[in-house]
Structure 1
Amino acid sequence: MVRVALRTGLRWKLSAAIALVGALVAVALSLVVHNEARSSMLDNSRDMQIKQLDFTQKFFESTHRLQFGAKIDDPALPRELRDKVSAGERATYLQDTGETVPEVWAATPLGDGRVLSMHGRDPDQFAVLDDLDKALLIGSAAVVVGGCALGVLVGGRLSKRLRTAAAAVGRLADGDTSVRIRDEVGGRVRDETDDLAWAVDAMSDALQERIEAERRVTADIAHELRTPVTGLLTAAELLPPGRPSELVRDRAQAMRTLVEDVLEVARLDGYAERAELQDVALGEFVTRRVRSLDPDISIDVVRDAEVTTDPRRLERILGNLIANASRHGEPPIEVTVEGRMLRVRDHGAGFPEALLREGPSRFRTGSSDRSGRGHGLGLTIAAGQARVLGARLTFRNADALTDGSTGAVSVLWLPENAPTSTGSFPVIQLPDR
């Protein structure tokens, strides 16, 4: 089941929230103001009708003449008003259909059993109500627009600080340990973003201290092992020829290689390595190095390119990728050069899912079909050297490609420009699904 996630910016969420709240408040206030104004106008119309009715009644009783359109026993008098007047009460009645201006009736009983009534409407007075409604509508729209603008302003500021913090965290993850999130976020007013920045900075410092301590311990142990291992290897050379001597020399050499690899990983983890740059014809360089490693490896130079890189580190990466393919994959092994791109592919079971998901890790050889040989340092060293070169190293399995075949594919993308002083982390590409 595919779940679709909609991504929206913080500024637009705040704008929508403020605009919605502003619209609700504006509509509620507009309704209250409209109803109160209309009720006040209707009450005022009733009072005016009562006053005119009193004056008309007094004038009629003295002159027997009617004023202001008053009528006696008007057949159009509403039944509800007629019933109240029949009980001897003076009353008013509001006739409001909602389609026209409300009509106000007023009636009073005369002494001879007749009913004096009058009614009228005031379009001018209720036209003011229409103008009031227009003003309320314009005011509500202004509140909504102002709320959106305020949301964009406040949300934009907060969103910018969060994006700045995210970018700084990205640089920190890429190995720039000098980054401080609080300094990047800046600002004079402190809020939760600053608290988050301080927390991330504290976590970064703690992790850097732990990583540095582990690196120093690893480097010190490997350095201390180098001397006895070298002595052991020298002593092994003095043993008399035979199978036991060969086994001792082989294991001593394997231990020496492991110590050298651990020392190299420690140096790469310390970000102290710098590339010694030279101009290299990539196709010729790769062909010569691969032929010296294994003449049976297939080499295909699709398009040659001249690159500025460190030949020693490039040779180290190429050797480790080929060694990994030879040790864990199956022949044939193919090396392809296409411009600045270098690809090494075998036809084995492919990389384990853990490596594709998390990248190379020291002393982890992967799943059971690619484990049991090696120490997991080859690809770790290749990734570290690629970082020094400013290159991008990707890993994927051939079964994710279009030809349907299997195998592990390692691709090194050399940069167009010379690497920086610190290089950059290689990118680990996940397999296509």
Structure 2
Amino acid sequence: MVRLALRTGLRWKLSAAIALVGALVAIALSLVVHNAARHSMLDSNRDVQVERLNIALKSYESQRHFQFGARIDDPALPQPLRKEIAEGERATYVQDNGENAPEVWAATPLGDGQVFSLHDPFLDRFAVLDDLDQALLLGSSAVVLGGCALGVLIGGRLSQRLRKAAAAAGKLADGDTSVRIRDEVGGRVRDETDDLAWAVDAMSDALQQRIEAERRVTADIAHELRTPVTGLLTAAELLPPGRPSELVRDRAQALRTLVEDVLEVARLDGYAERAELQDVALGEFVARRVHALNQDVTVDVVRDADVTTDPRRLERILGNLIANAARHGKPPIEVTVEGRVVRVRDHGPGFPEALLREGPSRFRTGSTDRSGRGHGLGLTIAAGQARVLGARLTFRNASEATDGSTGAVSVLWLPENAPTSTGSFPVLHLPDR
């Protein structure tokens, strides 16, 4: 089941929320003001009609003259008003005329059972109510627009701080332990974003201290093992010839290699390594070193390039990649040089999904389809040495060809500029091939 998610920025969410609340408040206040003004105006018109009724009644009694359009027994007199007059009381009545201004009636009973009345829509006064509605509409629109602008301003500021925090967290995840999110976020006003930044920085410091402690323990153990393992290897060389002696020497040599690899990983993890840079012709260098490492590997120089790098570390990376391809993959093993890009491909089952997803990890040799041999340090060392060179090492599986062959592909991207003393992370776009 696929769930679709609409991604929106924080500033627009705040703007929409403030605009919605502002619109609701403006509508409610407009309705209250409109109704209050209408009732006040109607009450005022009732009083005016009563005054006019008194003047018209006096004029009729003294001069038999009808003022203000007054009439006796007006056939248009509303029925509710007739009932009020039937009780012998003077009364007023507001007759709704739909979209037009309402008629305001005033009536009083005469002594002979007749009804003296007058009515008027007061168009000029209700025109003022229309003007008030327009003013309320403009004011409400201004409130909504102002709320949107305020939401964009506040949300933009908060969103910018969160984006800075996310970018700093990304740098931290890439291994830049000098980054502090609280410094990146900045700001004069403390809020929840600062609290989050301080908490993440504290967590990063705690994790870094734990990792550094584990690295030191690993390095110390490997360093302490180096002397007895060297003595063991020397003693194994003194054993008499035979199959048991060969097995002892082979396992002693494997143990020594493991100790050296662990020490190298510890040094790389401590960011203590520095590149010794030289200018080399990449194609010629790779062809010469690969043939020295493994005569069965084919080298194809599509386009040569001059690079500034550390030859010893570059050779170490190539050796580990080729050894990994020979141990876990299937021949033929192909090395391709194209400009500053070096590809190493085998035709085996490919890298396991965990390695493609998370990258190489020490002492993890992959899934069963890669036979599980080795200690899982070769690719870890290659990735660490690439970081020292300022290069980038990526891993992927080749797409299935027409003959059904696949394979694991390791791609080394050397930087255009010489790396810094601690290595850099160039931003590269991976091609489809």
Give the TM-score category using the shorter length: over 0.9
TM superposition shift of 1:280: 1.6
The one-letter code matched in structure 2 to 1:285 is F
TM superposition shift of 1:425: 5.7
TM superposition shift of 1:174: 2.2
Flag structure 1 segments of 5+ consecutive residues without an equivalent.
none
Q: Is the 8 A contact 2:300 2:337 kept in 1?
A: yes
Cα distance in 2 for residues equivalent to 1:131 and 1:176: 64
Range with bigger deviation, 234-243 or 256-265: 234-243
Percent identity between matched residues is: 84
Residue 62 (structure 1) aligns with: 62
TM superposition shift of 1:355: 0.9
TM superposition shift of 1:98: 2.6
Judged with a 3 Å threshold, the aligned counterparts in structure 2 of structure 1 residues 37 and 45 are, in CA distance, closer, same or farther, namely same
Q: Is the 8 A contact 2:397 2:407 kept in 1?
A: yes
TM superposition shift of 1:303: 1.4
Cα distance in 1 for residues equivalent to 2:107 and 2:322: 109
Cα deviations by residue, 1:82-122 (Å, 9 ceiling, x for unpaired): 23323322222212223211111111111111111101121
The one-letter code matched in structure 1 to 2:249 is R
Flag structure 2 segments of 5+ consecutive residues without an equivalent.
none
Judged with a 3 Å threshold, the aligned counterparts in structure 2 of structure 1 residues 272 and 48 are, in CA distance, closer, same or farther, namely same
TM superposition shift of 1:295: 1.7
Matches within 5 A, 1:18-29: 18-29=18-29
Is 1:251 the counterpart of 2:247? The answer is no
TM superposition shift of 1:399: 3.4
Judged with a 3 Å threshold, the aligned counterparts in structure 2 of structure 1 residues 32 and 401 are, in CA distance, closer, same or farther, namely farther
**TM-score normalized by the length of structure 2:** 0.95
Count of residue pairs brought into register by the alignment:
431
Residue 49 (structure 1) aligns with: 49
Q: Is the 8 A contact 2:287 2:299 kept in 1?
A: yes
Residue 416 (structure 1) aligns with: 416
The one-letter code matched in structure 2 to 1:66 is F
Cα distance in 2 for residues equivalent to 1:5 and 1:298: 48
Structure 2 SS opposite 1:187: coil
Cα distance in 2 for residues equivalent to 1:273 and 1:429: 27
The one-letter code matched in structure 1 to 2:163 is R
Runs of 4+ deviating beyond 4 Å: 400-404, 425-430
Structure 1 SS opposite 2:257: helix
Residue 163 (structure 2) aligns with: 163
Matches within 5 A, 1:301-320: 301-320=301-320
Residue 364 (structure 1) aligns with: 364
TM superposition shift of 1:403: 8.8
Residue 350 (structure 1) aligns with: 350
Structure 2 SS opposite 1:100: coil
Matches within 5 A, 1:138-157: 138-157=138-157
Q: Is the 8 A contact 2:366 2:372 kept in 1?
A: no
Structure 2 SS opposite 1:399: coil
State the superposition RMSD in angstroms. 2.0
Matches within 5 A, 1:40-189: 40-189=40-189
The one-letter code matched in structure 1 to 2:151 is G
Is 1:274 the counterpart of 2:274? The answer is yes
**TM-score normalized by the length of structure 1:** 0.95
Q: Is the 8 A contact 1:85 1:107 kept in 2?
A: yes
TM superposition shift of 1:424: 3.7
Q: Is the 8 A contact 1:279 1:306 kept in 2?
A: yes
Residue 32 (structure 1) aligns with: 32
Cα distance in 1 for residues equivalent to 2:88 and 2:106: 13
Q: Is the 8 A contact 1:398 1:404 kept in 2?
A: no
TM superposition shift of 1:49: 0.8
Q: Is the 8 A contact 1:399 1:406 kept in 2?
A: yes
The one-letter code matched in structure 2 to 1:150 is L
Matches within 5 A, 1:152-301: 152-301=152-301
TM superposition shift of 1:428: 12
